[in-house]
Amino acid sequence: MRAIATAVLMMAMPALAAPVRDPVAGAALLRDRALAENSALAIVTGLTTEIGPRLAASVPEAHARDWMAAEMTALGLAKVHIQTFAVPHWERGVETATTIGPNPQRLMLTALGYSGATPDAGLDADVVQFADLDALKAAPAGSLAGKIVFIDHEMRRAQDGSSYGAFNAIRTAGPAIAADKGAAAYLHRSLATGPARLPHTGVTRFPDGTKPIPAAALSVPDAKQLARLVALGPVRLHLVLTPRDLGPGTSGNVVGEITGTGPDVVLTGGHLDSWDLGTGAIDDASGVAITLGATKVIADAVKTGALPRPKRTIRMVAFGDEEAQGPLGGATYLKGHPEPVVFAVEADFGADRVWSLRSRVAPAAAPAVAALARVLAPLGIAPSPLPAFGGEDIAAAVQGGAGVVDLAQDGTHYFDLHHSADDTLDKIDPQALTQAVAAYAATLWWAANSDVEFRPGPPH
Ligand SMILES: [Zn+2]
């Protein structure tokens, strides 16, 4: 009985094939395996449901690190560990704005990250509107004393998100410019697309020597309303913003790997921290889930012998505090991990489909990139002549000489949700997420199991 069962089982099993050694053939195999399972959805669901918002230096961000370390271990990654680093700790408070006059109107707004505070009772001040940052810069010193500066500037919808890159200094630098000219507070139209009456937060920066003033983003509809009111005549606002600066805190990276046979490293990941208004599902639980999901598909294929151990270590990092500190998580990773990073690709642009492949690699690696493009073509991904941008989390590695590609995701709807309370799991299309996992799994394997020198110049 037992012998018959064994014989039947053996007939049902395919003959044990030798591992696929060609990096391009291996990439195609992983692409198809990733499409057949949905390795990222469970990760993004778990992280955004069991933990939720993950503001840098908060207790939930620390819980997210432990959650992520357990998840990486469960998915088969080796050498899982946490690297902590110091960051400022800031916390949102009460936030309201109301027009003063015969018809008081409540405006929907939210404090920018690291904003200063009004008195608890709020402040009353006149609004001075500017069209853009250059107009604010041109205002004479001291001319804004005691005023609420308001910049009403439109962000346009674009597949590549370029309007955000072009105009985000309105949020990051505008408040400090207004503060230096004596303003009492700063408001701007959210860096956002879409008609939702939800404001979009994000970091703002006050250089040493500039005292932080209260700074907030209005929802797009509320900014338009305020601009119409200003066009009718002087507007005075009652503004209450009571965030708190809690001093130094702790953030951290979670690191795991598929160990290669050689010394080189292929670096990937996304950022674990998020803003506090939503659950950070698209920014950036999705990026962590896409890259970890891709790593999991590779780990499974290596474990079962379908693929050999890669030549280069695939190192997956869930980076700490990207939202406020930008490249610090990536720089901290490099300090603790001296092995050469020869290639890097990060995911930090939501949960939508990858549509474009951009690269910045050694000229001699161009044929290899063309081969990768052929593997990605069935996913609807086209090669772009533009150079890869990289991203904050891998910026330090790229600066150190790593070759880089962008698997550019469709950002047409990204800024409807980004940094707002609407950044939640229900917005994710599981099929689009899976397509992105397939693209990352193929790309990581192609880079890790190849002999190609991707670094554009000598290591720095
Ligand atoms: Zn992000």
Query: In whole angstroms, what separates CA 358 from the centre of its chain?
Result: 18
447: CA distance to ligand 1 center in Å?
24
pLDDT digits (tens, 9 = 90+) for 103-138: 999 999 999 999 999 999 999 999 999 999 999 999
pLDDT at residue 391 greater than cutoff 50:
yes
The pLDDT assigned to 458 comes to: 61
- Mode of pairing for the β-strands spanning 341-346 and 265-271: parallel
**DSSP type of residue 121:** T
pLDDT digits (tens, 9 = 90+) for 51-99: 999 999 999 999 999 999 999 999 999 999 999 999 999 999 999 999 9
What pTM value is reported for the model? Answer: 0.95
261: CA distance to ligand 1 center in Å?
32
121: CA distance to ligand 1 center in Å?
34
Q: Rounded to an integer, what distance in angstroms lies between the CA atom of residue 335 and that of residue 377?
A: 37
- The token pair at 93 is 């408070």
pLDDT digits (tens, 9 = 90+) for 33-49: 999 999 999 999 999 99
Average pLDDT value over all residues in the chain: 95
- The token pair at 405 is 């590609």
303: CA distance to ligand 1 center in Å?
32
Question: How distant, in Å, are the alpha carbons of 13, 146, 228, 341 from that of 126?
Answer: 77, 8, 15, 53
The pLDDT assigned to 457 comes to: 81
pLDDT at residue 346 greater than cutoff 50:
yes
Average confidence (pLDDT) over 300-312 = 98
CA quadruple 315, 318, 324, 325: dihedral positive or negative? negative
270: CA distance to ligand 1 center in Å?
8
- Per-domain residue ranges for the chain? 20-90+248-448, 93-242
pLDDT digits (tens, 9 = 90+) for 160-174: 999 998 899 999 999
161: CA distance to ligand 1 center in Å?
13
- The token pair at 184 is 């009492």
191: CA distance to ligand 1 center in Å?
14
446: CA distance to ligand 1 center in Å?
25
Percent of the chain with pLDDT over 70: 96
The CB density around residue 231, as the number of other CB atoms within 10 Å, is 9
282: CA distance to ligand 1 center in Å?
8
Specify the CATH number of the domain 20-90+248-448. 3.40.630.10
Same fold, 20-90+248-448 and 93-242: no
What are the b/e assignments for 385-419, b being 16+ CB within 10 Å?
eeebbbbbbbbbbbebbbbbbbbbbbbbbbbbbbb
Q: Which residues on neighbouring strands pair with residue 85, listed in sequence order?
A: 251
Question: How distant, in Å, are the alpha carbons of 161, 198, 256, 297, 389 from that of 437?
Answer: 21, 30, 18, 9, 20
350: CA distance to ligand 1 center in Å?
8
Sequential DSSP letters for 15-81: P-PPP--SHHHHHHHHHHHHHHS-TTHHHHHHIIIII----TTSHHHHHHHHHHHHHHHHTT-EEEE
Q: Under CATH, to which class is 93-242 assigned?
A: alpha beta
458: CA distance to ligand 1 center in Å?
30
Q: Rounded to an integer, what distance in angstroms lies between the CA atom of residue 379 and that of residue 381?
A: 6
pLDDT at residue 13 greater than cutoff 60:
no
Question: Per residue, what are the HEC states of 155-213?
Answer: CCCCCCCHHHHHHCHHHHCHHHHHHHCCCCEEEEECCCCCCCCCCCCCECCCCCCCCCC
pLDDT at residue 26 greater than cutoff 50:
yes
Average confidence (pLDDT) over 284-292 = 98
Residue 137 corresponds to which amino acid? K
